[in-house]
Structure 1
Amino acid sequence: MKDKLAKNINRYRKARGLTQEGLAQLLGVTYQAVSKWENEQAFPDITLLPEISKALEVSIDKLLGYVSYDKQVTIYEKEYTTPDYYWGIKPNSDCYKVLEFMPPTSHLKLLDIGCGEGKDAVFFARNGYDVTAFDISDAGIEKTKKLADLVGVNVKVFKADILDFRLSTQYDILFSSGVLHYINPNYRKEIIDNYKKYTNNGGMHFFNVFVQKPFIAPPPEKEPNAFIWRSGELLSHYHDWLIESSPEVIFDCHSSGIPHQHAMSKIITKKV
Structure 2
Amino acid sequence: MKEKLARNIAIYRKERGLTQEELATRLGISFQAVSKWENAVTMPDLSLVPELCRTLEVSIDKLLGYVSQDKPITIYEEEYKTENYYWGTEPNSGVYEVLKAMPPSRRLKLLDIGCGEGRDAVFFARNGYEVTGIDVSDAGIEKTKRLAEYAGVQVNVLKADVLDFRLDKPYDIIYSSGVLHYIKPEFRQEIFANYKQFTNPGGIHVLNVFVHKPFIAPPPENEPHAYKWHSGELLSHYRDWLIKDSAEIVFDCNSSGIPHQHAMSTVMAQKA
Is the pair's TM-score, using the shorter chain for normalization, greater than 0.5?
yes
- Give the corresponding residue for 1:139: 139
- Relative to the length of structure 2, the TM-score reads 0.93
- Give the corresponding residue for 2:24: 24
- Give the corresponding residue for 1:73: 73
- Equivalent residues of 1:15, 1:186 under 8 A apart: no
Deviations 1:38-90 (A, max 9, x none): 23343323443344345445554432213357743321111111111100000
Q: Aligned partners of 1:47 and 1:221: how far apart in 2?
A: 43
After superposing the two structures, state which structure 1 stretch, 255-264 or 49-58, moved more: 49-58
SS in 1 for 2:132: strand
What's the CA shift for 1:23? 2.5
Q: CA RMSD in A?
A: 1.8
SS in 1 for 2:22: helix
Q: Aligned partners of 1:232 and 1:31: how far apart in 2?
A: 37
- Give the corresponding residue for 1:157: 157
- Give the corresponding residue for 1:191: 191
After superposing the two structures, state which structure 1 stretch, 149-158 or 35-44, moved more: 35-44
From the superposition, tell whether residues 233 and 54 of structure 1 become closer, same or farther in structure 2 (CA, over 3 Å): farther
- Give the corresponding residue for 1:64: 64
Q: Which runs of 5+ in 2 are unaligned?
A: none
SS in 2 for 1:247: strand
Q: Aligned partners of 2:40 and 2:271: how far apart in 1?
A: 32
- Give the corresponding residue for 1:90: 90
What's the CA shift for 1:152? 0.7
Q: Aligned partners of 1:175 and 1:26: how far apart in 2?
A: 40
Q: Aligned partners of 2:40 and 2:208: how far apart in 1?
A: 36
- Equivalent residues of 2:62, 2:69 under 8 A apart: no
After superposing the two structures, state which structure 1 stretch, 71-80 or 214-223, moved more: 71-80
Q: Aligned partners of 1:185 and 1:55: how far apart in 2?
A: 23
What's the CA shift for 1:107? 1.1
SS in 2 for 1:83: coil
SS in 1 for 2:225: coil
What's the CA shift for 1:6? 1.5
From the superposition, tell whether residues 138 and 17 of structure 1 become closer, same or farther in structure 2 (CA, over 3 Å): closer
**How many residues align structurally?**
272
> Does residue 102 of the first structure (1) align with residue 102 of the second (2)?
yes
- Give the corresponding residue for 1:248: 248
From the superposition, tell whether residues 184 and 34 of structure 1 become closer, same or farther in structure 2 (CA, over 3 Å): same
Q: Aligned partners of 1:215 and 1:134: how far apart in 2?
A: 33
From the superposition, tell whether residues 9 and 68 of structure 1 become closer, same or farther in structure 2 (CA, over 3 Å): closer
From the superposition, tell whether residues 127 and 67 of structure 1 become closer, same or farther in structure 2 (CA, over 3 Å): same
SS in 2 for 1:117: coil
Q: Aligned partners of 1:59 and 1:222: how far apart in 2?
A: 26
Q: Aligned partners of 1:238 and 1:68: how far apart in 2?
A: 28
- Relative to the length of structure 1, the TM-score reads 0.93
Q: Aligned partners of 1:196 and 1:69: how far apart in 2?
A: 24
What's the CA shift for 1:18? 4.5
Q: Which runs of 5+ in 1 are unaligned?
A: none
After superposing the two structures, state which structure 1 stretch, 111-120 or 33-42, moved more: 33-42
From the superposition, tell whether residues 57 and 187 of structure 1 become closer, same or farther in structure 2 (CA, over 3 Å): farther
From the superposition, tell whether residues 137 and 196 of structure 1 become closer, same or farther in structure 2 (CA, over 3 Å): same
What's the CA shift for 1:3? 2.7
Q: Aligned partners of 1:112 and 1:76: how far apart in 2?
A: 17
What's the CA shift for 1:35? 2.7
Q: Aligned partners of 1:46 and 1:151: how far apart in 2?
A: 47
Q: Where do residues 123-272 of structure 1 align in structure 2 (5 Å cutoff)?
A: 123-272=123-272
Q: Aligned partners of 1:98 and 1:68: how far apart in 2?
A: 28
SS in 2 for 1:243: strand
Q: Aligned partners of 2:131 and 2:24: how far apart in 1?
A: 43
Q: Aligned partners of 1:82 and 1:243: how far apart in 2?
A: 39
